Amino acid sequence: MNYVTDTHSLVWYFTDDQRLSKKALKAFESTIKAGDIIVPTVVLAEVLFIAKKGRIPLGFKKTVAKIEALANFEIVPLDLDVLKIAESIDAPLEMHDKLIVATAIRYDACLITRDEQITKSEAVKTIW
């Protein structure tokens, strides 16, 4: 199975943060044998932003290096297809959240997130 990761999920996975749920950790680890963790570029943009503010222990360059070193992780671009899907999402989500949700829809993947608004929107299948 393929999963799309939200920003906090990715950061917590890479930093062994206890806030990452057991189900989310299992989803990440399950892709070692089969499937991929899809990382939207907007997630990396958020990592860049919050790392510069010193709000996460892992910087942008280290995050990208970790992703690139793992065969089960794939960075996907923000493209016109994702934007078209995002435009069709009626849920009252912030733009970056709509783009992450749209990426999950585009790649027919479950979204690893603890974001309650995304989960409540039911726009995409989530796991936490």
How do residues 71-84 score in pLDDT, each as one tens digit? 999 999 999 999 99
At CA 72, angle to CA 99 and CA 61, rounded to 5? 65
Scan for tokens 């479950």, then name that residue: 110
Partners of 78 in beta bridges: none
How do residues 91-128 score in pLDDT, each as one tens digit? 999 999 999 999 999 999 999 999 999 999 999 999 99
Q: Percent of the chain having pLDDT more than 90? A: 92
| Token pair belonging to 104 | 């999950």
Please name the fold of domain 3-127: Rossmann fold (3.40.50)
How is the beta sheet containing 37-40 ordered, strand by strand? 73-76, 37-40, 3-5, 110-112, 126-127
What are the residue boundaries of the structural domains of the chain, listed by start?
A: 3-127
